[in-house]
């Protein structure tokens, strides 16, 4: 802003206008005489008239200055967008912030990372005890091996049984139950997509598997159900609950079923041992497989004594 555009104080402006008025009356145009002499020769009455005109011009100048320059004594009204302006004028109710879709997705992601159970299934034992679970059996070659090891170490485990294998090897089911171990329904044929099928089909599969287990070991208590691949859905969890079975997930998965190309038997056993030792914590449910997994059974000859020294091992 240039100096000429800055509003002048009203007193300075009034003085300037008064001097202009005097100069006007003293000008040769008004007096037809040299400047200054015309004013001195005016009569007293004319001087009073001149003085009144000057006062009027001073007042007009002051009013103009007041219009052009905002008074510093008048407080400025708060802008509508200023913080607290709305509350100063009238109380307003605060609207709750809307939850955006991205926020919901983040919440879901944070929940999954913290270990929310898939479909409402169970990931921990509910105590400080650690539970060993073996899936897909019974297997005529490997199941007897793990049963002997557990008996030698005075440890119990949970066996998630596939109905077809139960029907083929009922004596192994009786041996599992006689050893104080827990049995679990693992579907009739290890159907990875069972949870997405109609409710009637899900229930029929579970009933068929339970019937096979009870035919082999009439006194067996079937407390749990495990979906193949951990593919739990709310529907499959709900149906299992209606049939008196809790849905069993896991906390530790050494992926003993996975055999990468080029991995030796020794490397596989070492990987399973390392995964279980590094990831097991109090209350963990450990997933493994006894069906067609000889390296897993060999790994547990090292793992069971190691785990016993650090945790209480219990069947669910």
Q: Provide the pLDDT for residue 104.
A: 34
Can you tell me the mean pLDDT for 13-32?
A: 49
Read off the CATH number of the domain in which 196 is found. Answer: 3.20.20.370
Q: Which two tokens stand for residue 203?
A: 């229930």
Residue 147 included in any domain: yes
Same domain for 47 and 147, yes or no, is no
Residue 48's contacts (CB-CB under 8 Å, 6 or more residues apart) are none
How does pLDDT run across 167-217, given as a tens digit for each residue?
Answer: 999 999 999 999 999 999 999 999 999 999 999 999 999 999 999 999 999
Range of the domain at 186: 118-310
Higher pLDDT, 228 or 115: 228
Q: Provide the pLDDT for residue 25.
A: 45
In this predicted structure, the answer to whether residue 11 has a pLDDT above a threshold of 50 is: no
Residue 61 included in any domain: yes
Higher pLDDT, 18 or 277: 277
Just list the catalytic residues: 135, 289
Dist CA 207 CA 244 (whole Å): 11
Long-range CB contacts (< 8 A, 24+ apart) of 66-72?
Answer: 66/10, 68/7, 69/7, 69/9, 69/10
How does pLDDT run across 269-313, given as a tens digit for each residue?
Answer: 999 999 999 999 999 999 999 999 999 999 999 999 999 999 999
The percent of residues in the chain predicted with pLDDT above 90, rounded, is 61
Residue 229 included in any domain: yes
Number of domains present in the structure of the chain = 2
Same domain for 53 and 123, yes or no, is no
């Amino acid at each position: 802003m240039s100096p000429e555009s800055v509003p002048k104080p009203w007193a300075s402006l009034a003085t300037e206008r008064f001097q202009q008025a005097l100069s006007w009356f003293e000008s040769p145009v008004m007096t037809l005489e040299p400047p200054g002499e015309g004013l001195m020769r005016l009569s007293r009455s004319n001087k009073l008239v001149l003085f009144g005109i000057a006062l009027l011009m001073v007042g007009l100048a002051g009013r103009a200055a007041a219009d052009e320059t905002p008074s510093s004594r008048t407080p400025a009204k708060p802008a509508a967008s200023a913080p607290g302006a709305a509350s100063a004028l009238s109380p307003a109710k605060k609207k709750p912030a809307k939850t955006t879709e991205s926020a919901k997705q983040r919440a879901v992601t944070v929940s999954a990372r913290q270990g929310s159970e898939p479909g409402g299934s169970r990931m921990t034992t509910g105590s400080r005890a650690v539970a060993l679970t073996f899936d897909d059996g019974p297997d005529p070659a490997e199941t007897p091996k793990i049963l002997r090891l557990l008996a030698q170490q005075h440890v119990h485990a949970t066996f998630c049984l596939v109905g077809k294998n139960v029907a083929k090897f009922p004596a192994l089911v009786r041996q599992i139950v006689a050893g104080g171990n827990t049995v679990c329904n693992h579907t009739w044929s290890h159907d990875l997509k069972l949870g997405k099928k109609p409710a009637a089909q899900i229930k029929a599969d579970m009933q068929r598997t339970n019937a096979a287990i009870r035919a082999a070991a009439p006194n067996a208590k079937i407390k749990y159900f495990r979906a193949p691949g951990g593919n739990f859905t709310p529907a499959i969890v709900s149906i299992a609950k209606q049939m008196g079975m809790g849905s069993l997930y896991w906390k530790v998965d050494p992926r003993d079923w996975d055999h990468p190309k080029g991995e030796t038997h020794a490397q596989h056993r070492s990987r399973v041992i390392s995964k279980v030792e590094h990831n097991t914590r109090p209350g963990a449910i450990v997933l493994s497989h006894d069906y067609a997994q000889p390296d897993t059974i060999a790994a547990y000859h090292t793992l069971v004594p190691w785990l016993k020294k650090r945790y209480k091992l219990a069947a669910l």
